[in-house]
Amino acid sequence: MSEQHSATLLMSCPDQKGLVAAIANFLMTYNANILHADQHQDAGANLFLMRVEWDLDGFTLPMESFAAAFQPIADEHRMDWNVSLSSRKPRMAIFVSKYEHCLVDLLHRWRIGELGCDIPLVISNHEDCRRLVEFNGIPFHVVPVTRDNKAEAEAEQFRLLEEAGIDFVVLARYMQVLSADFVRRYPNRVINIHHSFLPAFDGAKPYHRAHARGVKLIGATSHYVTQDLDEGPIIEQEVARISHRDAVDALIEKGRDLEKVVLSRAVRWHVDNRVLSYCNKTVVFD
């Protein structure tokens, strides 16, 4: 079978009648075959949000002309929108420190074709993961970060990201806080993972502190990074039940499993253009 080439439109705008018809009629004008369509109305925010994907085979509007043709409709309905093509794989950079479980999972899923993206580079502040990354044929760059050189380190990271044409960044247990400048450069394009003890057990050794409190659930949260640290729009979460028989090591092991699965889901949904962020939360379309 030949690979299907499609386009995906993500949009949001003030809720009103006729939005689905306006988009569908526009696409039908150019002979579009709609493959998937999903929508959501947020009554509290008075917003309409939609994802629509269509087959480009037989679509008579050249995609380089799409923006100009669609903009009058977008202006009329005050839409925020973007369109992406399945033929263009997004370029993902991975940031990692020493913990490798999330990195390993992402690389495996990428290698077997589960993640439809390219990985031009991995950036770390330590050498620990070099052999793993280079085994997968991906350039590995170490940019040391200290209290005194954070600005210089981020400048070097920006240089590497721009040279590689990066579209979005994944923090696969990267144990450094990004600056506000970094977040502004990649709005809703930096994905992080953390355990779901925050804020109850933030700081050092959260699993030890959670074990001491006798928690019954542990979890993991993946979210877009904002200037408010771990308060960005949540993409995915998962939990596991804990028994009184579970020692600290068992909590850490179960936590690692949750972290890598939750992060990979979030990355896959982002790559597939299924996530729309608004009002510091997200819609993840089916």
Q: What DSSP character marks residue 3? A: P
55 is catalytic: no
Q: Are 113 and 271 in contact (CB under 8 A)?
A: no
242 vs 219: CA distance, rounded Å: 10
Residue/partner pairs of 181-186 with CB below 8 Å, 24 or more apart? 181/154, 182/154, 182/157, 182/158, 183/225, 183/226, 183/227, 185/158
Evaluate whether 86 touches 4 at the Cβ level (below 8 Å).
yes
- Chain-centre distance of CA 263, in angstroms? 8
CA atoms within 13 A on the CB side of 273: 23
End-to-end Cα separation, the chain, in angstroms? 24
Contact 35, 54 (CB under 8 A): yes
- The three-state secondary structure class of 157 is helix
DSSP for 258-282 reads: HHHHHHHHHHHHHHTT-EEEETTEE
How many helices (H) and strands (E) are present in the chain, helices listed first? Answer: 8, 13
Active-site residue (options: 15, 230, 246, 257): 230
Evaluate whether 67 touches 46 at the Cβ level (below 8 Å): no
Residues with catalytic roles: 230
